[in-house]
Amino acid sequence: MQTLLLWLFYISIFYAFIPGIITRIFGFRAFQKGKSERDYSLTFDDGPDPRYTPQLLDLLKRYNAKATFFVVGSHAEQNPDLLKRIHEEGHLIGIHNYKHKSNWVMQPRTVRKQIRMTAEIIFSITGERTTYYRPPWGIVNMFDFYKLDQYKIVLWSSMFGDWREKTGADKLTERMLNKLVPGEVMLLHDCGSTMGADPDAPKQMLIALERVLQEANRRQMQSIRIDEMIQSNDNVIEKKQSIAKNVVVKAWLLWEVVFHFIFRLKTVTPVDPFLHYRLRPYKGKPVTLDNGSILENGSSIIELHFDNQKLFHIGMNSRSEVHLAIQMIRSMEKELPALAYQLMDNPEFRNAKALYGVSMINRGPEKFGFSIRDLPNGWFAKSTNVYLKILMSIIHPAGKGRLKESPSKLVPKMIIMPVDYLNEHFSVSGSHRKSNLEIVPQDIPVESPELANVTH
């Protein structure tokens, strides 16, 4: 018997106690506080109640406040007109189980059934699906984390004991005003018929709430729905990311100025910079070029670099990956003939064997006659990989999402073109060159935007 009790104790710890702790303390899989600069959120549990919910809705309307109602399914079923009014007056409706029972005392399938029943009741009355769920007493079990993926669990950052009538309006007012700060998610109750609550407790809550709404108006604070508060959180995060990104971009563009000065890069078209280059010796293992010649350690090569500011401008103004690819390819079409002319006109470059650059894996450079080779394993390949992925997250229309979609494909590669090929195909204008460069949008692969990563 003692062994059985011990096992039941362990099961209750893992099934209920630990999930409750990590949810409340660490906010795992649950929303409980916002990051708004001015707004807060009023949330109401246990209703709708035919006596107090209409009074609450009248009060919220007078102060132009929006709230979130986590309704008990059986109460909503009994008061469809009230639920419809909540919806029509612009408030958000969430789920609070069909019966006000703790998830600790129900099997996982029973919890899911309660949620599903309540969701269907809400939909049948309002015509709108809800994806927000607050478990009674904020208590979750272990399976709630994994079986409620379609719902956002919403808890709270402050509660006030408003389910007890003896707390009184004055004490409630004091407690609520102490928590009237931006981002706060306040837990209140518009029904006193659930277990442990006093039937007339909402009367005191309504008195206190009107005082708080008056003070909120004086402070120019507004109560907003939970979905708006969550969106506000996302906006704050995006703003912080945007600031960090701007810092990275400025540092990146400053580095380009320094790099150009140190290595004395030449620019193909100074009036509209896009492609830069320099002469340097090749460092690495021998590479057989497409024309049969061998690029050996020490051979002269022309190293290519895209203009970082131009890259950033193109990336920020591209509507999609394909649009970015088209712009990059069209720009290359204009630059390569000018580059071929400059190389032929300058004796310094006459002994160069190949054009050389580093790019993320893609098929785009092959359109121009480049071949793509693996970078030898080593420090250079690893450091270039990190740099180009940072660059991709900045200039690519899909940002970091592109890196997550196909990280195995986004590795740096060498792109090489024999100078002879450049001279043959790009040094003279005419039908021969045009036929080799005629690229229509449907020919451009989705991977082509990685062409933009030919850079230092």
| Gap between the Cα atoms of 391 and 403, Å rounded | 11
Task: Name the catalytic one among 75, 87, 91, 189.
Answer: 189
Catalytic residue flag (residue 313): no
- The sign of the CA dihedral 323, 327, 332, 337 is positive
Task: Name the catalytic one among 39, 45, 46, 227.
Answer: 45
Token representation of residue 147:
């079986």
Task: Judge contact between 43 and 188, C-beta under 8 A.
Answer: yes
HSE (side-chain half, CA atoms, 13 Å) at 242: 7
Amino acid found at 223: S
**Nearest C-alpha neighbor of 361 from the set 456, 446, 451, 287:** 451
List 359's β-bridge partners, or say none: 413
Amino acid found at 279: L
- Helix, strand, coil percentages for the chain (3-state, nearest 5): 50, 15, 35
Catalytic residue flag (residue 81): no
Task: Judge contact between 396 and 321, C-beta under 8 A.
Answer: yes
List 418's β-bridge partners, or say none: 354
Do you find a cis peptide bond into 397, omega within 30 degrees of 0? no
Amino acid found at 165: E
**Nearest C-alpha neighbor of 41 from the set 196, 232, 190, 195:** 232
| Gap between the Cα atoms of 426 and 336, Å rounded | 6
- The CA-based angle 394-395-400, given to 5 degrees, is 50
- The CA-based angle 265-269-274, given to 5 degrees, is 75
Residues labelled catalytic? 45, 189
